[in-house]
Structure 1
Amino acid sequence: MLLHPTLETLAQLRLDGMLKALQEQLDMPQIQTLSFEERLGLLLDRELTTRENRRLKTRLKQAKLREPAAIEDLDYRTHRGLDKALMSRLATGQWIGEHLNVILTGPTGVGKTWIACALANKACRDGFTVRYLRLPRLLQDLAMARAEGRYTKLLAELARTELLVLDDWGLAPLNDEQRRDLLEILDDRFKRRATLVTSQLPVTLWHDYLGDPTLADAILDRLVHCAYKINLTGDSMRKHTTRLTDDPALA
């Protein structure tokens, strides 16, 4: 058997997983004890794993998550009002497939962004497309896109994303154009895609924050009424980190 042409063909076909696995098999004398079908199965398994890892890497790159968080590392020891059963349910990703929403509220530093990114990371690993955006920056981008003629294209990109994370909801007052932009985004996603929102503002204050009563009703109807709500409490997690780094024993 001429192995060199075979290796070249695998490389040309971009079957990187099979190529690497075959090269490894050539260095394993005991591999000869396996049948052709068994060796072929090992090659195909490696190719499948390689492709899945490549796709995951692409999804994570496109998601642009702010924190390198994983749901497996979620801290339940710090009392923040986290319901472990609910978090386990959300970690399955079923809510994304059902096009539901998650709302994370609580004071600054309590871990909202980290938890949001952990859920988003799990969604990427489960095969969903994800995009993390800070709402203030997104609204600026939409205004710029409108001026440059990219507004419709940007809205379409957001609408296709299976999980959209909107961080820092409620940091600054909205003008009429921004309220309409927000409604457009959420209307495109209502019962079609999942949205995760983090905010320092309690949900009870969102109607006042949005300002215009008519638009506020429309926005909240599309976001809040079909959402899991998690209200975090307690001190800033950054305070705990500061205490640890200030400990002379840990210096």
Structure 2
Amino acid sequence: MLTHPTLDQLRALRLDGMAEAFLELQMQDATAELSHPEWLGLLVDREIASRDTRRFQTRMRAAKLRHIGAAIEDVDFRTPRRLDRALFQQLATGRWIADARNLMITGPCGVGKTWLACALGQRACRDNRTVIYQRLPRLFADLDLAHGDGRFPRLFRSLVKADLLILDDWGPDRLTAGQRRDLMEIVEDRHDRGSILITSQLPVAAWHDVTGEPTFADAILDRLVHNAHRLELDGPSLRRSKEPTEDVDEARRA
């Protein structure tokens, strides 16, 4: 069999997974006993796996998660922080995203809100869903600039089209009039169409005051909270509970 021309043709067709599998099978003596359908099946399986991996990597790059190594398989349920294991495992299935429901993760600093949000975001990327992660203070600053330089329509479309929008670090500063308007537009366009995950040190009951103007606050929170799951964490900071030599491990859960 002409190995090199075949590899060149597979790569020219952008079938890189099949090319890699073809080369590996050629080097294994045991594969000489495989039938042609079995050979083809192995090549196709590798190509599918390769494309799935590339799509996942593309989604992860677009998501820009703060903790890219966060994964639901690594969630620590032993640490006392009132993490509802049954609810989190239900959330890990991704059904809430398919149903366009929201999720609120609240609790004091250091209990792992952002890490848990990123773990769910990573799982959504693995499930072939689009994800965008934004720290809310930075997003508001970017939206403000976008209004002035013409980028707002494009930025707004990206925020409302993603299957899951993660807004990290709600509060404690009160929203300005412009921030209220922008948040209202995002929440309104995503309502019943896409999921929003919000993390905050403040309990949900305090979000009305942080939003500011009562009419906007009622409209925004009604759309955010009425169909939302809640993870209400509590406990000491995971950062302070570790020795300095364990800081690297803890950074993955913070």
> Shorter-normalised TM-score: what interval?
over 0.9
Residue 204 of structure 2 corresponds to residue 169 of structure 1: no
Residue 30 of structure 1 corresponds to 30
Instruction: Give the Å deviation of 1:4.
Output: 2.2
Residue 112 of structure 2 corresponds to 111
Residue 90 of structure 2 corresponds to 89
Residue 48 of structure 1 corresponds to 48
Deviations 1:32-70 (A, max 9, x none): 111000000000000000000000011111111111211
Q: Distance in 2 between matches of 1:152 and 1:60?
A: 23
SS at match of 2:243: helix
What's the TM-score, normalizing by structure 1?
0.95
Residue 4 of structure 2 corresponds to 4
| Residues 1:50 and 1:176: Cα distance change in structure 2 (over 3 Å) | same
Q: Distance in 2 between matches of 1:26 and 1:37?
A: 15
**Residues 1-251 of structure 1: pairs in structure 2 closer than 5 A:** 1-67=1-67, 68-242=69-243, 245=246
Which consecutive unaligned segments of at least 5 residues does structure 1 have? 247-251
SS at match of 1:229: strand
Which consecutive unaligned segments of at least 5 residues does structure 2 have? 248-254
Q: Spell out structure 1 runs of 4+ moving beyond 3 A.
A: 242-246
Does the 8 Å contact 1:65/1:132 carry over to 2?
yes
SS at match of 2:103: strand
Instruction: Give the Å deviation of 1:172.
Output: 2.0
What's the TM-score, normalizing by structure 2?
0.94
Aligned-residue sequence identity (percent) comes to 54
Q: Distance in 2 between matches of 1:147 and 1:189?
A: 24
Residue 249 of structure 1 corresponds to none
Q: Distance in 1 between matches of 2:206 and 2:24?
A: 60
Instruction: Give the Å deviation of 1:242.
Output: 3.4
Instruction: Give the Å deviation of 1:239.
Output: 1.0
Deviations 1:160-199 (A, max 9, x none): 1100000000132211010000001111110000010000
Does the 8 Å contact 2:188/2:223 carry over to 1?
yes
Residue 252 of structure 2 corresponds to none
